[in-house]
Structure 1
């Protein structure tokens, strides 16, 4: 079938809106009509990443309607409303068998190769292959994805809000609820108040934390954090943030610290601000050339846990519907994360906003294709 898409033809260059071809789904694949897709900072990273296979269709936060299923598909049917997960899982590898589906071995090789799980592409233009991105490629009117990327949602879930669940929302929520395992009455510090950090705050609030401390350099972000459930704020650029966090927690430090920044200095600060026996979760991606430095003295005596978390340790098929229902019940804020709604033709404007330090970054620009 022919469809309209935004194609990355060159590293760092504006995307081209053009007509491309999409082949039918193969076994265990699903054809989805995209109704809404968020523009994530990770898409910007892919646009400027020299290793991104090109030409490619980016986009990994999407929601839509199932319009066709390939052979053997059992979990969704035509007409289902779905949110898309960019980490499908096989269910049979060592990690899937122990419940760590977010670490499934099957997804990573094709993800970096720009294909679907079988190592081939369903996208083309004038007979030449176009690469997939994160096995989803949602910057298009339609997409073919693995069945295990399609998570059915309630029929009354709006598409724009549903699209955000698949990345930043689930990652932040999972960082608090699944990775850190925040407990009722505990104290939590969240470093980096962006599209992931505010959802870590929401996850901590839903888990019953008594004190949630937002930590960031931007006063604007700290104010926004309060509207998502932060009870206190610390500007990490003013004074000693470790001492500030200890002063808010009786001198002990927080039970849980969640670092969403991708900055090794922030992660070290989060660790030092975590009390004895507490847990520090790192959700942001570090620059591999950087080093994470932690105090060595008395390391064994503090009994703390330092944990890296990929995709917030979520299980999409259980956690996506939970988040959707929390939203429908008025307990999880998603409306506030939709910063603006645009058409596909305006996508380069959304990318340009990432370079504007004055733009609000706590949320997403959402591309809509006409659905509700």
Structure 2
């Protein structure tokens, strides 16, 4: 079938709107009519990454309606509303069978190669291959995706808000609820108040934390954090975060710290501002050339946990519906994460916003179809 898509033809160049061909879904694949897709900073990373195969259709935060299913598909049927997960899992490997589906490696080879799980693509133009992004490629009217990327959501769920669940929302929420295991009445610090950080705040609020302390360098982001549940804020460019964290917690430090910043210095600060027996969860991606420096003296007596968390330890088929129902029950704020709604033709404007240091980055521009 012919579809309209935003195609990345060259690294670092604007996307171009093109007509391309999309093949039918094969076994264990689903054809989804994309209704909405968020434009994430990770899409910019892919656009500027020389290892991204081209031409490719980017986009990994999407929601839509199932149009057709390939052989063996059992999780969804035509007409179902779905939120898409960019990390499908096999269900049979060492990690999956023990419940750690977020650590399944089945998707990453194909993901880096720009294919679907079977190593082939479904998109082309004049007989030439067009590659997939994150096994989804949601910057298009339709997408063929793995069945394990399709999570059914309630019919009443608005799809602009649903499109954001599959990446930053699930990562932040799950970092608090799953990876950290925030407990009722506890104290939590969140470093890096962007699209992931505000959802870590929401996860901590839903888990029942008594104090949620937002830490960032941007005063605007800290003010926004209050809308999502932050009870206190620390501007780390002006204050010593660990000292303030201790002062807000009777001198002990917080019980949980979640670092969404991708900055190793923030992780070090989070560690120092966490009490004995506390937990520090890192979901931000570090520059691989950086190192984390933690004090060695008395390390064994602190009883602290430092944990890296991919995707917030999310289990999409469990967590996506939970988040959707929390939203529908008025307990989760997705509305304020939709910063603007744009047509596909304006997608490059959303990318331009990432280069504007004054632009609000707590949320997403959402491309809506129809």
TM-score scaled by structure 2?
1.00
Q: Look up the match of 2:211.
A: 211
Deviation above 2 Å: which 4+ runs of structure 1? none
Distance 1:366 1:188 in 2: 30
- Who is 1:186 aligned against? 186
Residue number in structure 1 paired with 2:24: 24
Q: Which residue of 2 aligns with 1:324?
A: 324
Q: Does 1:263 align with 2:269?
A: no
Cα deviation, 1:32-80, whole Å, max 9, x if unaligned, reads: 0000000000000000011111110000000000000000000000000
Give the equivalent residue in structure 1 for 2:38.
Answer: 38
Between the aligned partners of 2:287 and 2:112, the Cα distance in structure 1 is: 18
Provide the rounded CA distance (Å) in 2 between the counterparts of 1:294 and 1:342: 45
Which residue does the alignment assign to 2:249? 249
What TM-score, normalized by structure 1, do the two folds share? 0.99
- Mapped to 1, the partners of 2:50 and 2:290 lie a distance apart of 19
Partner Cα separation in structure 2 for residue 348 and residue 239 of structure 1:
37
> Mapping of 1:198-347 within 5 angstroms?
198-347=198-347
Q: Which secondary structure does the structure 1 equivalent of 2:17 belong to? A: strand
Corresponding residue for residue 166 of structure 1: 166
Residues of 2 paired with 1:317 and 1:127: CA distance? 36
Structure 1 unaligned blocks of 5 or more = none
CA distance in 2 between counterparts of 1:182 and 1:135 reads 31
* Map of 1:87 onto structure 2: 87
| Post-superposition offset of 1:292 | 1.1
Of 102-111 and 327-336, the range deviating more from structure 2: 102-111
After superposition, give the CA deviation of every residue in 1:123-165 in whole Å (9 maximum; x if it has no partner): 1011000110000000000000000000000000000000000
- Tell me the equivalent position of 2:71: 71
CA distance in 1, matches of 2:52, 2:123: 16
Structure 2: unaligned runs, 5 residues or longer: none
Spell out, residue by residue over 1:193-214, the C-alpha distance to the aligned partner (whole angstroms, 9 max, x if none): 0000000000000000000000
Q: CA deviation at 1:239?
A: 2.7
Give distance in 2, aligned partners of 1:239 and 1:90: 46
* Equivalence for 2:130: 130
Equivalents in 2 of 1:33, 1:46: separation in Å? 23
SS of the residue aligned with 1:202? helix
Secondary structure of 2:205's partner? Answer: helix
The separation in 1 between residues aligned to 2:92 and 2:239, in whole angstroms, is 50
CA–CA distance in structure 2, aligned partners of residues 141 and 176 of structure 1: 34
Aligned residues: 370
Distance 2:75 2:340 in 1: 32
Does 2:148 align with 1:148? yes
Offset at residue 14 of structure 1 (A): 0.2
C-alpha distance in 2 between matches for 1:23 and 1:271: 50
Supply the distance in 1 between the matched residues of 2:293 and 2:89 (Cα, whole angstroms): 33
Q: Distance in 2 between matches of 1:262 and 1:246?
A: 23
1:254, 1:126 → 2: CA distance?
58
